[in-house]
Amino acid sequence: NPGKKHYHPIKDAFWKKGEKTPYLAIAKTFEIIEENSSRLRMIEILSNYFRSVIVLSPNDLLPSVYLCLNQVAPAFEGLELGVAETNIMKAIAQTTGRSLQQIKSDSQQIGDLGVVAERSRSNQRMMFTPTPHTVESMFNKLKSIAKMSGATSMQKKVDTIKGIFVACRHSEARYFVRSLLGKLRIGLAEQSLLQALSQAVTLTPPLENKKEPYNVNVMSDKNEATIKLKVEKNALILKTVFCRCPDYDQIVGILIDEGIKALLEKCKMKPGVPLKPMLAQPTKGVHEVLERFDSIEFTSEWKYDGERAQIHMDENGVISIYSRNQENNTSKYPDIISRISLTTKDSVKSFILDCEAVAWDQERKQILPFQVLSTRKRKDANEAEIKVQVCVYMFDLLYFNGESLVENPFSKRRDLLYEHFNEVEGAWKFATKLDTSDMNELHLFLDEAVKGNCEGLMVKTLDKEATYEIAKRSRNWLKLKKDYLSGVGDSLDLVVLGGYRGKGKRTGMYGGFLLGCYDQENDEYQSICKIGTGFSDEDLKAHSNFFKDNIIKEPRSYYRFDSSLTPDDWFDVVQVWEVKCADLSLSPIHKAANGIVDPEKGISLRFPRFIRIRDDKKVEDSTSAKQVADMYQNQDQIKNQQTHRDAEE
């Protein structure tokens, strides 16, 4: 019964086996997900929807996954929807007979064009009933809209949107319009989707459902603890595979045809598909490094301040470059691509290199700060027009001539890197390294790195515990930044939750913002500080312009904050800022890491200062509540208090 208020994605599934999944089924599922704030509940609802699809129309699992994520292709292909709001408004106006003015004013009042579209629909009378949308047809149409380009594409998009809109039923218009805008607003993180998917394929395995009689509750006779264990095991497989091969086309295909176990064997790393990078843990000084790596051999490298570049070449010589965030940066770096043959020796057939692209002053032959690199064009750069040159610092080799190397120790990967790749002045360099555990030598090396315009050092294990840990902030890579030495601590990457209107010179824009960290455990954003320092006037203008398009009427159910902090405007979580602070302290108001360090208090930042926007991080990649708690506890004065207490006891 699609009209039912509390739709249950299994009990109320309203299409027959072999039929295509109606788009309305996923829209109804989104409705109940939107009404539920608990992460576990969201996962269960989505998992139930996937289970119905597996049984009734398994080929719709892939488009369903993409619709949930609001993607039309694997993320690394960079094909995005994001249709301009005014064009959608035009299409709504033209199909409903309402004026553009009415639609605009409703949208301002309600703060959600999706809801405006849904409500506008019900005013309409139809001569005959159009064919209802299916999950597959909607996905294909959205994909075709994303692909439209060229001079007449705007009109073509509006016409296609009108065609789709006419056939929308119930809440379909809401989610269709939100998809077009690029924001589904149901609060579903990708990790939750992966969890739901593994839960679904565990409880209702696609392979077993190929035979008759099919059964939604294949595992219902097993005991609950066994089921839970199996779900967790499968979730781990799925998440692991997703890190090295974030490609649902491959993953879902294998899940349906061969089952979850086949994923590990079949979904392998390959050039052209970016993998999530290994990350480092902060340390506060050479002494901490030496303590951690007491009996383990390690090396130290300069930590370059540029942009991570994962450079891929497949066996056909096709080159692609991905960011830290698996975004496709290939068209940003035509200069790197045209110089590939300078670094590869004849033995090289295919590879994945882990590198840092750094702005380079060709005359002075020196590294330039990150700010210079950030002025480069982000997409479709024309090599002849490039003003900021880059030098690529290669620090790891993850795949070579058809084989993944990630299971090999770093010393082996580094040997292969040195053996098969060349250095070229100002274009290709190996990260400057020093293999020593001598404290004085390390101090000197750190000083040199800082003098050489680097952020500090990356310290890495060489043989023992030295595999490449995809997607992990690993203890086998330690970062030692110059900032830590002055006691300021590591910077944090925080999401912007809301804005406070400015006064005086800042009238007409935001003068301050509410920031939060991400608590993975509960899938929520927790307030950590208000910030009003570190911005230039241009920064503030740019932020105000950017966030005014991301205002939401109410805070999301997954924002944790004290009402005394309520900003003038709430924002959708869409941007990550790098922020530094004097120190971290316990706070009765802020909610960051609440319950981890103190049962009642959270943690807040003292004297936070804006450093830069981190476009290369997704909101879920922002500093986690656990990291905030670790940073708090790692502060000297907190450690000293602890030692003092231990001594007293």
Please tell me whether residue 303 binds ligand ATP under the rule CB under 6 A. yes
Give the nearer residue to ligand ATP in terms of CB position, either 219 or 296.
296
Q: What is the nearest approach in angstroms of ligand ATP to the Cβ of residue 616?
A: 7
Please tell me whether residue 308 binds ligand ATP under the rule CB under 6 A. yes
Q: What is the nearest approach in angstroms of ligand ATP to the Cβ of residue 332?
A: 15
Q: Among 46-54, 157-165, 302-310, 373-381, which window interacts with ligand ATP (CB under 6 A)?
A: 302-310
Q: Among 81-89, 303-311, 313-321, 523-531, which window interacts with ligand ATP (CB under 6 A)?
A: 303-311
CA-wise closest residue to 633 among 587, 591, 588, 583 = 583
DSSP state of 582: S
Binder of ligand ATP out of 23, 165, 304, 468 (CB under 6 A): 304
Q: What is the nearest approach in angstroms of ligand ATP to the Cβ of residue 593?
A: 18
Give the nearer residue to ligand ATP in terms of CB position, either 73 or 279.
279
Q: Can you give the three-state secondary structure of 228-280, one letter per residue?
A: HHHHHHHHHHHHHHHHHCCCHHHHHHHHHHHCCHHHHHHCCCCCCCCCCCCEE
> Which pair of tokens denotes residue 578?
């790098």
Q: How many residues bind ligand ATP (CB under 6 A)?
A: 14
Q: What is the nearest approach in angstroms of ligand ATP to the Cβ of residue 461?
A: 13
Q: Among 296-304, 338-346, 442-450, 548-556, which window interacts with ligand ATP (CB under 6 A)?
A: 296-304
Q: What is the nearest approach in angstroms of ligand ATP to the Cβ of residue 6?
A: 42
Please tell me whether residue 279 binds ligand ATP under the rule CB under 6 A. yes
Please tell me whether residue 492 binds ligand ATP under the rule CB under 6 A. no
> Which pair of tokens denotes residue 296?
């383990």
Q: CB–CB of 392/329 below 8 Å?
A: no
Please tell me whether residue 479 binds ligand ATP under the rule CB under 6 A. yes
Give the nearer residue to ligand ATP in terms of CB position, either 187 or 456.
456
Q: CB–CB of 437/290 below 8 Å?
A: yes
From first CA to last CA, the distance across the chain in angstroms is 65
Q: Among 274-282, 339-347, 403-411, 584-592, which window interacts with ligand ATP (CB under 6 A)?
A: 274-282
Rg of the chain in Å (alpha carbons): 26
* Cα-to-chain-centroid distance, residue 208: 33
Q: Among 216-224, 229-237, 275-283, 538-546, which window interacts with ligand ATP (CB under 6 A)?
A: 275-283
For 540, residues 6+ apart whose C-beta sits below 8 A from its C-beta are 502, 506, 509, 510, 511
Binder of ligand ATP out of 115, 186, 458, 495 (CB under 6 A): 458
Binder of ligand ATP out of 333, 395, 468, 513 (CB under 6 A): 395
Longest Cα pair distance anywhere in the chain, in angstroms?
A: 84
Strands 559-560 and 473-481: unpaired
Binder of ligand ATP out of 280, 340, 417, 494 (CB under 6 A): 280
Please tell me whether residue 172 binds ligand ATP under the rule CB under 6 A. no
Within 332-391, the residues that bind ligand ATP by CB under 6 A are 356
CA-wise closest residue to 282 among 529, 62, 480 = 480
Please tell me whether residue 618 binds ligand ATP under the rule CB under 6 A. no
> Which pair of tokens denotes residue 162?
């009108």
Give the nearer residue to ligand ATP in terms of CB position, either 12 or 288.
288
Please tell me whether residue 413 binds ligand ATP under the rule CB under 6 A. no
Q: What is the nearest approach in angstroms of ligand ATP to the Cβ of residue 633?
A: 18
CA-wise closest residue to 459 among 309, 277, 302 = 302
Give the nearer residue to ligand ATP in terms of CB position, either 431 or 584.
431
Please tell me whether residue 431 binds ligand ATP under the rule CB under 6 A. yes
Q: How far apart are CA 422 and CA 448, in angstroms?
A: 24
Please tell me whether residue 449 binds ligand ATP under the rule CB under 6 A. no
Within 62-91, the residues that bind ligand ATP by CB under 6 A are none
Residue 303 appears among annotated catalytic residues: yes
Catalytic residue chosen out of the listed positions 303, 460, 481, 530: 303
CA-wise closest residue to 427 among 333, 314, 302, 315 = 333
For 401, residues 6+ apart whose C-beta sits below 8 A from its C-beta are 347, 348, 349, 350, 351
* Cα-to-chain-centroid distance, residue 135: 25
Please tell me whether residue 276 binds ligand ATP under the rule CB under 6 A. no
DSSP structure string for 103-125: HHHHHHHHS-HHHHHHHHHTT--
Q: CB–CB of 628/517 below 8 Å?
A: yes
Q: CB–CB of 176/137 below 8 Å?
A: no
Give the nearer residue to ligand ATP in terms of CB position, either 120 or 476.
476
Q: CB–CB of 21/135 below 8 Å?
A: yes
Q: Which residues are catalytic?
A: 303
| Chain residues in the site for ligand ATP (CB under 6 A) | 277, 279-280, 301, 303-304, 308, 324, 356, 395, 431, 458, 479, 491
